[in-house]
Amino acid sequence: MNIPTVKIARCGHALAPMMAKHFGRWWWAWALILIAGGQIGNRWALHVNLSYSIADCDVFLVTKGDRQIARGSLVEFAWPGGGPYPAGVRFIKIVRGMPGDMVTTQGRDYFINGVYVGTAKFSTARGEVLEMGPAGRIPPGRFFVWTPHPDSLDSRYALTGWVNYGQVVGTARKLF
């Protein structure tokens, strides 16, 4: 049992000069790797979707700070808090309504510029009442977000409402 410990210790002592030589020679490459790693983390993130709201994809690449949002864009936004989720939880939804679009309702059915979007449920799976989200002209700096899943907590509900531009973390791309 002592033999492996001795071999590891000898191996460690033998490697130390080689590692010092390597880092001494390649310090600039390691510095670039560290800087690039920090920049990648500042620029992109992986988002794993734990719900079934976007059925054909579970993992997304989010480009942080990308706020070139168009109808049909996938966006990641920070939940403001309330309901079943704490503030800061991140969601990915599809932008269906843009500033200036008209959101109307007929009963619990939602329409954007006269096109049917979906129906708001009366309650959650746990029986909690769901209040309908806003209707009217979407103001500047706000978006109507949605996913096709019937249990999606999206802009059809007051808890989410219209997402503020400031809540948007970035745009997302489906990976797999």
CA nearest neighbour of 139 among 170, 176, 111, 98: 98
> What pLDDT, on the 0 to 100 scale, is given for residue 75?
96
Look at the alpha carbons of 22, 27, 33, 34 in this order and tell me if their dihedral is positive or negative.
Answer: positive
Closest-CA residue to 115 (of 78, 153, 146):
146
* Strands laid side by side in the 115-119 sheet: 115-119, 109-112, 102-106, 136-137
Residue by residue, pLDDT tens for the chain (176 residues) are 444 443 434 444 555 676 677 667 777 766 666 665 556 667 777 777 777 777 776 788 888 988 899 999 999 999 998 888 899 999 999 999 999 999 999 999 999 999 999 999 999 888 999 999 999 999 999 999 999 988 899 999 999 999 999 999 999 988 87
Q: How far apart are CA 151 and CA 78, in angstroms?
A: 19
Q: Which residues contact 110 (CB under 8 A, 6 or more apart)?
A: 103, 104, 116, 117, 118, 119, 120, 133, 135, 156
What's the rounded Cα separation, in Å, for the pair 103 and 153? 17
Tell the CATH superfamily of the 49-174 domain.
Umud Fragment, subunit A (2.10.109.10)
Residue 99 CA from chain centroid, whole number: 21
Q: For residue 35, what is the enclosing H or E element?
A: helix 27-43
Could you tell me if residue 14 is left (phi over 0), alpha (psi between -120 and 50 degrees) or otherwise beta? alpha
SS3 call for 8: helix
CA 160 to chain centre: 15
